Structure 1
Amino acid sequence: MKLTFTIRVICNLCLIVFLVLGWGEKVTAGELSERLAHFPQWKQLTSVEPAKGDLVYPEWMAGTWEVKSTLVDLAAPLAPDIVTPGFEGNRQQLNQPMSFLVRFVKAQSSVAGLKFMLQLDAKSTILVADRAFNSLNLARSYLGDEAVLSVKVDPDSPNRQITFLRGERQLISIVTARGTETTPDGKFITTEVFQQLFKGGSLPYLNSVESTTSYHQMSTSSPAIEADQVTAVYLSPQDPDYFTAGDRPVALYRYRLEFLPTAK
């Protein structure tokens, strides 16, 4: 169960998770920033639209970055009645930074899938996450190189991916909804909602996850970008505690992310 939960946390760190329709769906001005400001008083999933195409990032996030991710806070709103597997164990990760590489690349705005075209005219392209590269590096930073075999993104949909693990285990992640917001002070805020299925244990494990991240371009190169991220875990209808929890999150994790440019 501890391994299951650790993998869940990895795939919830979605600065990097899942081009057809351009920018992600906008939400009401200030809704996402207000949500982050009210951590950990989250009562239900955020109200965002169904996911279409990929999540598009601002141009200042282009390139390859070394990311330092630090868990700075966590909460179990329904404890002691409901506590997710591994929650207490994850307290050991508090203030312990993890580092990994990520990259954001150009893709044709009129072409579905992940056919990255790095040399195209900027007017015909958008900036998206290299999901397979990013998710693989993130998972291996937590579990080790030998535990994570590969990550495959559905060529027909950037919103579906499978992480293949040693021992014939799989984590299937599907982005079902998303929204974006740009604040007056230039912060780019995203939220994505996932359905996650872990296969390979005695019983498949399904849950829902919401990841909300606020990115801020800095005036220095160390770091060049800072981000505040909250990941919320919700029970699936298959969980025996589902009706007790309802729409309320059962675990909340807050991360500080620092992006440093890599050598060209």
Structure 2
Amino acid sequence: MFGRLETSKHIIPDETECSSRRDALSKLILLPVLSSTPEFSWAATDSPFSFQQAESSQLAVGLLEARVTENVLSPPPYGMEVPDIIYPSWFQGTWQISSRTTDVQAPCGAALFGGNATLERAKNEIGTTLQYDARFISTTTSTGAIVADRYYNVQSIAKAAMGEFSVMDIPVATPNKLTCVLLPKGSPRMLQVDLIALNRRQETISDLQFDCSEVTREIVAPVNNNNAPPQQQPQSNNNNNNNNNPILKEIETTSLYTYNPSKNEITCQQRSATFLLPSQTSPIAYKMWEAARGRPIDTRFYQVRYTKKG
């Protein structure tokens, strides 16, 4: 569900298209795709946020709304509270989604955001809208819980953002991990995108209001000719960017949903916050992580509208 990816021109050579592709890739996270089957495994233990304990489920309702409306810059205080996001019954069905970027901020300054040019390109996205379809389905379990149809949703948003034939494969689609292989239109190389859920919280505010949030680790790397997964590729020990070096971020995406039954419409106020990870191979990346002091380097806000189809 959450954040922004800082792609590198070494991975996507056409720098003029970096911002839009970065935005498209990150929208894979903003879309609720990490919830669909009862299969569950706990989060990775090396995340800056993985120290959160199960007791975080006792945090007061209203926490998620405050993180969005007050633009809270501290790391999320909740842990992996639920094995899946279970949506209210009014989510069931197929929806046409209109997602409009309303604001882009650099809490740690332009340098950590990626430079003035990168920040300017990102701000040019303000006011733009991406339209795509999303589907929510009932599980086959006795509870009949409503969950996101990950496979359908990823294909839909990738095609809308990166081209009709951009999705090459989705080999993994479980509640806590999604892997997709993409070939963005105009790109000479395929990219493998891994989304790993680390923290998750949901709050039922009322019969018509529902809030949820996830922290996701995003790993983006070019697919090499030997077809080995990016995580298994050797990484350079020098300080320069390398074509095989994956890009890693952790992104908190928080969504505040309101259902209007008279219009059969859902509106959503959404914030993504991108956090740096410490690097053991790049001194520069490590210094950037230190400079951020636990704050997000990139926060973005969206107004999203769900219109029922059929």
Whether the TM-score (by the shorter chain) exceeds 0.5 is yes
TM-score by length of 2: 0.72
Partner of 1:207: 249
Q: Aligned partners of 2:259, 2:300: CA distance in 1, in Å?
A: 23
- Of 70, 85, 93 in structure 2, the residue corresponding to residue 38 of structure 1 is 70
Partner of 1:124: 143
- Structure of higher CA gyration radius: 2
Q: Secondary structure at the match of 1:82?
A: helix
Partners of 2:210 and 2:257 within 8 A in 1: yes
Deviations 1:21-62 (A, max 9, x none): 99xx574211111111102xx222211222653211000110
Q: Aligned partners of 1:187, 1:84: CA distance in 2, in Å?
A: 36
Letter in 1 for 2:77: S
Partner of 1:115: none
Partners of 1:197 and 1:206 within 8 A in 2: yes
Deviations 1:82-141 (A, max 9, x none): 1137443122221111110100001134xxxxxxxxxxxxx5311100011112211221
Give the gaps of 5 or more residues in structure 2.
1-7, 9-17, 41-56, 184-188, 223-242, 280-284
Query: Higher strand fraction: Structure 1 or Structure 2?
Result: 1
Q: Secondary structure at the match of 2:123?
A: helix
Q: CA RMSD in A?
A: 2.3
- Of 109, 126, 129 in structure 2, the residue corresponding to residue 97 of structure 1 is 129
Q: Aligned partners of 2:121, 2:170: CA distance in 1, in Å?
A: 26
- Of 93, 116, 123 in structure 2, the residue corresponding to residue 63 of structure 1 is 93
1:251 and 2:281 are equivalent in the alignment: no
Partner of 1:150: 169
Q: Which moved more, 1:72-81 or 1:210-219?
A: 72-81
- What is the correspondence of 1:101-250 to structure 2 with a 5 Å cutoff? 101-109=133-141, 124-154=143-173, 157-166=174-183, 167-184=189-206, 186-200=208-222, 201-221=243-263, 224-238=265-279, 239-240=285-286, 241-250=288-297
Q: Aligned partners of 1:186, 1:21: CA distance in 2, in Å?
A: 28
Q: Aligned partners of 2:25, 2:119: CA distance in 1, in Å?
A: 11
Q: Secondary structure at the match of 1:44?
A: coil
Q: Secondary structure at the match of 2:61?
A: coil
Instruction: Quickly say closer, same or farther: Cα 1:165–1:188, change in 2 above 3 A.
Output: same
TM-score by length of 1: 0.83
Instruction: Quickly say closer, same or farther: Cα 1:158–1:107, change in 2 above 3 A.
Output: same
Q: Aligned partners of 1:7, 1:148: CA distance in 2, in Å?
A: 12
Letter in 2 for 1:89: R
Query: Higher helix fraction: Structure 1 or Structure 2?
Result: 2
Letter in 2 for 1:35: R
Give the gaps of 5 or more residues in structure 1.
110-122
Q: Aligned partners of 1:230, 1:61: CA distance in 2, in Å?
A: 20
Q: Secondary structure at the match of 1:49?
A: coil
Q: Aligned partners of 2:70, 2:253: CA distance in 1, in Å?
A: 15
Q: Secondary structure at the match of 1:181?
A: strand
Instruction: Quickly say closer, same or farther: Cα 1:186–1:220, change in 2 above 3 A.
Output: closer
